Structure 1
Amino acid sequence: MAKQNIIELVSGRTIHLRFLEQSLVYEEPIPGIPKWEDSQRFVERVLERARKHSDGYAPYLIPPPERPIGDPRPPFTQGSQPMLLPPVVCVARFYSHYEASDPSKDYSGLAVLWFQDEFAFPIDPAVMKHLRELDWERHAIDYDY
């Protein structure tokens, strides 16, 4: 039986989920109808919070699917299109027992942020596909014990 906290990447590397924080995107009421710019601001706030918990390194964002609300034909200006994000935001930290790029380091890690329709587990299949195809060597940070 596969463990839910272990993911094998298509590269053959195994990563381990060590931290997962989830919350509702629309937990607090927002005035009016959410728009594209509201979604972008929310994503930026979550990225900044995740960066603080990742030793200042930028987390990897799996781009969220945006869902237009209503008829997309009216003449909306940039940023005014009513838009929803999937309702659950997930911030995770993954680790590998091996370095990503610096052979003098002991292990590597990466914070990943994504959105999905339900609380995990399971992780949304589209997100899991993206995780498995992740270029770990490009995005992960190397660490010493």
Structure 2
Amino acid sequence: MSREFKLLTGRVITLKELRQSATYEGLLEGLPTVEKNKGLIQRLLSDRSLKPYRVDPILLPAVERPIELPPEHSYPFGTPSALPAVTVVARFTSHTPTLSGTGDASGLVVVWFQEQFAFPPAEDIASQLQSLDWERHAGNFEY
């Protein structure tokens, strides 16, 4: 079953694929840091499998939470900070191409972070999805 979203522009997009995973699944020891988080996001966004429409995926702004340590403890491996617990990768399509292109339809992969495994997304994520600049970011394709 697909899920439709109406963008503020009036365009309707349909969720075609949803992947959720634990953000820090591979972190075996230590703390997440600002530096590790940047690397995690860069690797995620450069994943070729997230470019089925020949355009880069977009990242909805993530809120990092500083990890407070007691004043007598320092962390030598960076600035401790955590992204939300769940990484979400969603693939959307629209039945029409973008205004500046040709093709049968258009598509876009959107990445975000949230605290729980769940769908539909939280209200703040849903409002960001509705505000997507589809014309700027989506890629056109033919059936």
Same fold (TM over 0.5): yes
RMSD: 2.4
Compared CA separation, residues 4 and 120, structure 1 to 2 (3 A): farther
Q: 1:19 aligns with which of 13, 17, 20?
A: 17
CA distance in 2, matches of 1:37, 1:103: 37
CA distance in 1, matches of 2:46, 2:120: 25
Partner of 2:59: 61
Shift of 1:45: 1.7
Gaps of 5+ in 1: none
Compared CA separation, residues 28 and 104, structure 1 to 2 (3 A): closer
Instruction: Specify the SS of the correspondent of 1:123.
Output: coil
CA distance in 2, matches of 1:130, 1:106: 25
CA distance in 1, matches of 2:50, 2:31: 31
Establish whether residue 140 from structure 1 lines up as the match of residue 138 from structure 2.
yes
Say if 2:55 and 2:138, in contact at 8 Å, map to a contact too. no
Compared CA separation, residues 23 and 135, structure 1 to 2 (3 A): same
Shift of 1:125: 1.3
Partner of 2:92: 94
Say if 1:62 and 1:113, in contact at 8 Å, map to a contact too. yes
CA distance in 1, matches of 2:55, 2:7: 21
Instruction: Specify the SS of the correspondent of 1:45.
Output: helix
Instruction: Specify the SS of the correspondent of 2:46.
Output: helix
Within-5 A mapping of 1:1-145? 5-49=3-47, 51-55=48-52, 56-70=54-68, 80-102=78-100, 104-145=102-143
- Identity among equivalent positions (%) equals 39
Select between 24-33 and 14-23 the one with higher mean Cα deviation: 24-33
Q: Which residue identity is paired with 2:127?
A: K
Q: Which residue identity is paired with 2:50?
A: H
CA distance in 2, matches of 1:53, 1:104: 21
Q: TM-score by structure 1 length?
A: 0.86
Shift of 1:124: 1.6
Q: Which residue identity is paired with 1:94?
A: F
Gaps of 5+ in 2: none
